[in-house]
Structure 1
Protein backbone atom coordinates (compact mmCIF):
# COMPACT_ATOMS: atom_id res chain seq x y z
CA UNK A 1 0.00 0.00 0.00
CA UNK A 2 1.62 3.23 -1.13
CA UNK A 3 -0.93 5.98 -0.51
CA UNK A 4 -1.89 6.78 3.06
CA UNK A 5 -5.56 6.58 3.93
CA UNK A 6 -5.61 8.21 7.38
CA UNK A 7 -3.69 10.91 9.18
CA UNK A 8 -3.57 10.22 12.91
CA UNK A 9 -2.44 12.74 15.54
CA UNK A 10 -0.66 12.83 17.95
CA UNK A 11 2.17 10.67 16.66
CA UNK A 12 4.28 10.18 19.79
CA UNK A 13 3.58 8.12 22.87
CA UNK A 14 0.16 8.89 24.35
CA UNK A 15 0.12 10.01 27.98
CA UNK A 16 -2.39 8.95 30.62
CA UNK A 17 -2.86 11.28 33.59
CA UNK A 18 -5.06 11.05 36.67
CA UNK A 19 -6.32 14.59 35.99
CA UNK A 20 -7.94 13.37 32.73
CA UNK A 21 -9.34 10.18 34.29
CA UNK A 22 -6.61 8.16 32.52
CA UNK A 23 -8.08 9.09 29.14
CA UNK A 24 -6.24 10.30 26.06
CA UNK A 25 -7.63 11.31 22.66
CA UNK A 26 -6.48 10.81 19.12
CA UNK A 27 -7.67 12.61 16.03
CA UNK A 28 -8.30 10.50 12.91
CA UNK A 29 -8.60 12.25 9.51
CA UNK A 30 -9.45 10.57 6.22
CA UNK A 31 -6.97 12.09 3.74
CA UNK A 32 -7.92 9.81 0.85
CA UNK A 33 -10.56 10.23 -1.83
CA UNK A 34 -12.48 7.08 -0.85
CA UNK A 35 -14.41 6.00 2.27
CA UNK A 36 -12.16 4.30 4.84
CA UNK A 37 -13.11 1.64 7.37
CA UNK A 38 -11.09 1.80 10.62
CA UNK A 39 -10.88 -0.24 13.78
CA UNK A 40 -9.04 0.21 17.10
CA UNK A 41 -7.65 -2.90 18.77
CA UNK A 42 -5.36 -3.54 21.70
CA UNK A 43 -2.49 -5.96 22.15
CA UNK A 44 -3.62 -6.51 25.75
CA UNK A 45 -7.16 -7.73 26.37
CA UNK A 46 -9.23 -5.76 28.90
CA UNK A 47 -6.68 -3.05 29.70
CA UNK A 48 -8.08 -0.26 27.52
CA UNK A 49 -11.53 1.05 26.67
CA UNK A 50 -11.74 2.65 23.23
CA UNK A 51 -14.60 4.79 21.89
CA UNK A 52 -15.57 4.63 19.07
CA UNK A 53 -14.05 1.22 18.48
CA UNK A 54 -14.61 1.26 14.70
CA UNK A 55 -16.30 3.27 12.00
CA UNK A 56 -16.37 4.50 8.43
CA UNK A 57 -14.89 7.88 7.49
CA UNK A 58 -15.95 9.56 4.28
CA UNK A 59 -13.34 11.54 2.29
CA UNK A 60 -12.01 14.53 4.29
CA UNK A 61 -14.04 13.49 7.35
CA UNK A 62 -12.53 13.60 10.84
CA UNK A 63 -13.33 11.92 14.15
CA UNK A 64 -11.96 11.87 17.69
CA UNK A 65 -11.29 8.54 19.42
CA UNK A 66 -10.74 8.27 23.16
CA UNK A 67 -8.59 5.60 24.78
CA UNK A 68 -9.04 5.04 28.50
CA UNK A 69 -6.82 2.98 30.77
CA UNK A 70 -9.28 0.85 32.74
CA UNK A 71 -9.52 1.31 36.49
CA UNK A 72 -7.04 -0.91 38.32
CA UNK A 73 -4.96 -1.54 35.18
CA UNK A 74 -1.34 -0.46 34.99
CA UNK A 75 0.91 0.11 32.01
CA UNK A 76 3.65 -2.47 31.57
CA UNK A 77 7.06 -1.35 32.79
CA UNK A 78 8.68 -2.38 29.48
CA UNK A 79 6.21 -0.37 27.32
CA UNK A 80 4.71 -3.45 25.68
CA UNK A 81 1.12 -2.17 25.78
CA UNK A 82 -0.03 -1.00 22.38
CA UNK A 83 -3.19 0.05 20.60
CA UNK A 84 -3.38 -0.40 16.85
CA UNK A 85 -5.56 1.58 14.50
CA UNK A 86 -6.03 -0.54 11.38
CA UNK A 87 -7.80 0.75 8.29
CA UNK A 88 -8.53 -0.01 4.67
CA UNK A 89 -10.80 1.24 1.94
CA UNK A 90 -14.41 0.63 2.91
CA UNK A 91 -16.38 -1.98 1.00
CA UNK A 92 -19.55 -0.02 1.85
CA UNK A 93 -20.35 3.58 2.75
CA UNK A 94 -22.74 2.93 5.62
CA UNK A 95 -22.10 1.26 8.95
CA UNK A 96 -23.68 -2.18 9.28
CA UNK A 97 -22.47 -3.89 12.46
CA UNK A 98 -22.85 -7.50 11.24
CA UNK A 99 -21.22 -6.82 7.90
CA UNK A 100 -18.36 -4.83 9.47
CA UNK A 101 -17.54 -7.45 12.10
CA UNK A 102 -17.57 -10.19 9.43
CA UNK A 103 -15.39 -7.96 7.22
CA UNK A 104 -12.71 -7.60 9.93
CA UNK A 105 -12.76 -11.33 10.67
CA UNK A 106 -11.96 -12.06 7.02
CA UNK A 107 -9.43 -9.22 6.61
CA UNK A 108 -6.95 -9.71 9.43
CA UNK A 109 -4.26 -7.18 10.23
CA UNK A 110 -1.51 -9.15 8.48
CA UNK A 111 -3.09 -8.29 5.14
CA UNK A 112 -0.74 -5.95 3.19
CA UNK A 113 -3.76 -3.89 2.12
CA UNK A 114 -4.44 -2.96 5.75
CA UNK A 115 -2.81 0.28 6.91
CA UNK A 116 -1.62 0.18 10.53
CA UNK A 117 -0.96 2.96 13.04
CA UNK A 118 0.55 1.86 16.36
CA UNK A 119 0.34 3.79 19.63
CA UNK A 120 2.51 3.33 22.69
CA UNK A 121 1.69 4.79 26.09
CA UNK A 122 3.31 6.41 29.09
CA UNK A 123 2.04 7.47 32.48
CA UNK A 124 2.26 11.18 33.25
CA UNK A 125 5.30 12.20 35.28
CA UNK A 126 3.16 13.43 38.20
CA UNK A 127 1.32 10.11 38.39
CA UNK A 128 4.61 8.19 38.28
CA UNK A 129 6.10 10.29 41.11
CA UNK A 130 2.99 9.76 43.25
CA UNK A 131 3.08 5.99 42.57
CA UNK A 132 6.79 5.79 43.50
CA UNK A 133 6.09 7.75 46.70
CA UNK A 134 3.23 5.39 47.63
CA UNK A 135 5.48 2.36 47.01
CA UNK A 136 8.26 3.90 49.13
CA UNK A 137 5.86 4.72 51.98
CA UNK A 138 4.42 1.20 51.88
CA UNK A 139 7.81 -0.51 52.28
CA UNK A 140 8.54 -1.58 55.83
CA UNK A 141 11.58 0.01 57.30
CA UNK A 142 14.40 -2.36 58.19
CA UNK A 143 14.71 -2.98 61.93
CA UNK A 144 17.82 -1.72 63.61
CA UNK A 145 19.34 -4.37 65.89
CA UNK A 146 22.41 -2.47 67.01
CA UNK A 147 22.88 0.91 68.57
Structure 2
Protein backbone atom coordinates (compact mmCIF):
# COMPACT_ATOMS: atom_id res chain seq x y z
CA UNK A 1 0.00 0.00 0.00
CA UNK A 2 2.88 2.36 0.80
CA UNK A 3 4.34 1.67 -2.65
CA UNK A 4 1.09 2.83 -4.27
CA UNK A 5 1.21 6.13 -2.36
CA UNK A 6 4.84 6.65 -3.39
CA UNK A 7 3.94 6.06 -7.05
CA UNK A 8 0.94 8.42 -6.85
CA UNK A 9 2.99 11.09 -5.07
CA UNK A 10 5.74 10.83 -7.67
CA UNK A 11 3.20 11.08 -10.47
CA UNK A 12 1.57 14.19 -8.97
CA UNK A 13 4.95 15.89 -8.43
CA UNK A 14 6.02 15.05 -11.97
CA UNK A 15 2.82 16.47 -13.45
CA UNK A 16 3.15 19.64 -11.36
CA UNK A 17 6.77 20.12 -12.44
CA UNK A 18 5.86 19.55 -16.08
CA UNK A 19 3.00 22.06 -15.88
CA UNK A 20 5.29 24.66 -14.30
CA UNK A 21 7.93 24.21 -17.00
CA UNK A 22 5.33 24.40 -19.75
CA UNK A 23 3.90 27.59 -18.26
CA UNK A 24 7.35 29.25 -18.16
CA UNK A 25 8.32 28.24 -21.71
CA UNK A 26 8.15 31.18 -24.12
CA UNK A 27 7.07 33.63 -21.44
CA UNK A 28 8.35 37.18 -21.83
CA UNK A 29 10.27 38.43 -18.82
CA UNK A 30 11.49 41.87 -17.95
CA UNK A 31 15.06 42.73 -18.76
CA UNK A 32 17.88 42.11 -16.33
CA UNK A 33 20.13 45.06 -15.62
CA UNK A 34 23.53 44.38 -17.12
CA UNK A 35 26.66 46.45 -16.69
CA UNK A 36 28.22 45.50 -20.01
CA UNK A 37 27.35 43.18 -22.82
CA UNK A 38 29.77 40.40 -23.69
CA UNK A 39 31.83 41.27 -26.77
CA UNK A 40 30.31 38.59 -29.06
CA UNK A 41 26.88 40.13 -28.46
CA UNK A 42 27.94 43.78 -28.57
CA UNK A 43 29.47 43.11 -32.02
CA UNK A 44 26.06 42.04 -33.33
CA UNK A 45 24.27 45.34 -32.60
CA UNK A 46 23.43 47.66 -35.47
CA UNK A 47 22.99 51.35 -34.54
CA UNK A 48 20.44 51.75 -37.37
CA UNK A 49 18.19 48.93 -36.13
CA UNK A 50 15.91 49.78 -33.18
CA UNK A 51 15.66 46.20 -31.87
CA UNK A 52 17.98 43.22 -32.29
CA UNK A 53 16.81 39.80 -31.18
CA UNK A 54 19.85 37.85 -30.03
CA UNK A 55 19.08 34.15 -29.78
CA UNK A 56 21.46 32.18 -27.57
CA UNK A 57 21.57 28.59 -28.80
CA UNK A 58 23.59 25.42 -28.42
CA UNK A 59 24.57 22.86 -31.02
CA UNK A 60 22.18 20.03 -30.20
CA UNK A 61 19.18 22.09 -29.08
CA UNK A 62 16.05 21.07 -31.00
CA UNK A 63 13.88 24.00 -29.80
CA UNK A 64 16.67 26.33 -30.95
CA UNK A 65 16.04 25.37 -34.59
CA UNK A 66 12.33 26.15 -34.22
CA UNK A 67 13.15 29.46 -32.51
CA UNK A 68 15.62 30.37 -35.26
CA UNK A 69 12.97 29.84 -37.95
CA UNK A 70 10.35 31.80 -36.01
CA UNK A 71 12.58 34.78 -35.20
CA UNK A 72 14.06 34.94 -38.70
CA UNK A 73 10.54 35.07 -40.12
CA UNK A 74 9.54 37.83 -37.68
CA UNK A 75 12.63 39.88 -38.50
CA UNK A 76 12.06 39.48 -42.25
CA UNK A 77 8.52 40.83 -42.03
CA UNK A 78 9.04 43.53 -39.36
CA UNK A 79 10.73 46.82 -40.18
CA UNK A 80 13.32 47.77 -37.56
CA UNK A 81 13.77 44.25 -36.21
CA UNK A 82 16.89 42.14 -36.70
CA UNK A 83 17.60 38.54 -35.64
CA UNK A 84 21.01 37.12 -34.75
CA UNK A 85 21.67 33.55 -33.62
CA UNK A 86 24.69 33.09 -31.36
CA UNK A 87 25.86 29.55 -30.58
CA UNK A 88 27.21 29.55 -27.00
CA UNK A 89 28.30 25.89 -26.99
CA UNK A 90 32.00 26.84 -27.09
CA UNK A 91 31.63 30.15 -25.26
CA UNK A 92 29.71 29.38 -22.05
CA UNK A 93 31.12 32.50 -20.41
CA UNK A 94 28.77 34.58 -22.57
CA UNK A 95 25.72 32.75 -21.22
CA UNK A 96 27.10 32.89 -17.69
CA UNK A 97 27.73 36.65 -17.85
CA UNK A 98 24.14 37.19 -18.99
CA UNK A 99 22.61 34.84 -16.43
CA UNK A 100 21.26 32.47 -19.10
CA UNK A 101 20.53 28.98 -17.78
CA UNK A 102 18.79 27.39 -20.77
CA UNK A 103 18.70 27.48 -24.53
CA UNK A 104 17.11 28.88 -26.47
CA UNK A 105 17.04 32.21 -24.69
CA UNK A 106 16.22 35.29 -26.73
CA UNK A 107 17.34 38.76 -25.68
CA UNK A 108 15.71 41.82 -27.21
CA UNK A 109 18.34 44.56 -27.27
CA UNK A 110 18.02 48.22 -28.22
CA UNK A 111 20.61 49.65 -30.60
CA UNK A 112 22.59 51.02 -27.63
CA UNK A 113 22.78 47.56 -26.02
CA UNK A 114 20.05 48.06 -23.44
CA UNK A 115 18.21 44.82 -22.74
CA UNK A 116 14.50 45.36 -23.37
CA UNK A 117 13.23 41.89 -22.50
CA UNK A 118 14.15 38.22 -22.57
CA UNK A 119 12.37 34.99 -23.42
CA UNK A 120 13.36 31.54 -22.22
CA UNK A 121 12.30 28.79 -24.60
CA UNK A 122 10.45 29.19 -27.88
CA UNK A 123 8.82 32.64 -28.00
CA UNK A 124 5.20 33.22 -28.88
CA UNK A 125 5.39 35.41 -31.98
CA UNK A 126 2.42 37.72 -31.43
CA UNK A 127 3.19 38.26 -27.73
CA UNK A 128 6.78 39.11 -28.61
CA UNK A 129 5.76 41.62 -31.28
CA UNK A 130 3.22 43.20 -28.92
CA UNK A 131 5.88 43.61 -26.24
CA UNK A 132 8.34 45.14 -28.72
CA UNK A 133 5.88 47.45 -30.49
CA UNK A 134 6.52 50.45 -28.14
CA UNK A 135 10.22 50.29 -28.99
CA UNK A 136 9.49 50.55 -32.71
CA UNK A 137 7.18 53.52 -32.10
CA UNK A 138 10.01 55.44 -30.38
CA UNK A 139 11.97 55.25 -33.60
CA UNK A 140 12.75 58.74 -35.00
CA UNK A 141 11.30 59.49 -38.41
CA UNK A 142 12.67 61.54 -41.23
TM-score band by shorter chain is under 0.3
Under a length normalisation based on structure 2, what TM-score does the superposition of the two structures give? Answer: 0.27
Structure number with bigger Rg: 1
| Higher strand proportion (structure 1 or 2) | 1
TM-score (norm 1): 0.27
Which structure exhibits the higher relative contact order, with contacts defined as CA atoms closer than 8 Å and separated by 6 or more residues?
2
Which protein is richer in helix relative to its size? 2
